[in-house]
Amino acid sequence: MNKKLLLAAIALTASTSVFAEGYAGSNTVTTPGFSGPSQGISTVKEVLDTGVFSDDLPVTLTGHIKSSLGGEMYMFTDKTGEITVEIDHDKWMGQSATPESTVQLYGEIDKGISGTKVDVEVLKVLPVSK
């Protein structure tokens, strides 16, 4: 029984140190998991074409923040159109973007009386590809 307890403690210590190494001294957030194509809503057109019952559906958008609308509201654009997005100040995580920067937004559709927008949960400024 003590051998199992010792192995569990070693595994926990190893996973904790790996987790700490991935985040210590870094301003970027590393998200473990799958990195590749995803299914689901991934363009502004698809967001705008969703029905009335699409509130809170998850979306992943890649494009550009075209302009600030004031406060935490921004105009986001991709190759299919443009939409208002809400990015809380804490979601920037020290990142900066310009209209030329390519960003990836993870969030959910927010349908209200004033229209459709995307409430951003995670913002990633993508590296410039050469």
- Share above pLDDT 90 across residues of the chain, in percent, rounded to a whole number: 56
CA-based Rg of the chain, rounded to a whole angstrom?
19
Q: Is residue 23 part of a domain?
A: no
Burial level of 60, CB count in 10 A (0-12/13-18/19+)?
middle
pTM of the model: 0.70
User: Average pLDDT in the 92-107 region?
Assistant: 96
Q: Residue 107 falls within a domain, yes or no?
A: yes
Taking residues 44-60, report their average pLDDT: 89
Residue 19 belongs to a domain: no
Does the residue 1 lie in any domain?
Answer: no
Q: Say what the pLDDT of residue 130 is.
A: 67
Could you tell me which residues are beta bridge partners of residue 81?
78
| Region 67-71 average pLDDT | 96
- Domain assignment of residue 15, yes or no: no
pLDDT at 22: 42
pLDDT at 32: 65
Residue 33 domain flag: no
How many domains does the chain divide into? 1
| Residue 20 belongs to a domain | no
Residue 10 covered by a domain: no
Range of the domain at 113: 44-125
How far is Cα 29 from Cα 130, in angstroms, rounded to an integer?
Answer: 22
CATH code (residue 63): 2.40.50.200
Lowest-pLDDT range of 6-20, 47-61, 81-95, 104-118: 6-20
Nearest to 110 by CA among 102, 120, 100: 120
Lowest mean pLDDT among 12-21, 24-33, 109-118: 12-21
User: 38: how many CB neighbours lie within 10 A of its CB?
Assistant: 11
For 60-128, give the secondary structure using H, E and C.
Answer: EEEEEEEEEEECCEEEEEECCEEEEEECCHHHHCCCCCCCCCCEEEEEEEEEECCEEEEEEEEEEECCC
Q: Which of 25-39, 60-74, 80-94, 107-121 has the lowest mean pLDDT?
A: 25-39
At residue 66 the predicted structure's pLDDT band, cuts being 50, 70 and 90, is very high
Query: Which helix (H) or strand (E) element contains residue 59?
Result: strand 58-70
Q: pLDDT confidence of 31, banded at 50, 70, 90?
A: low
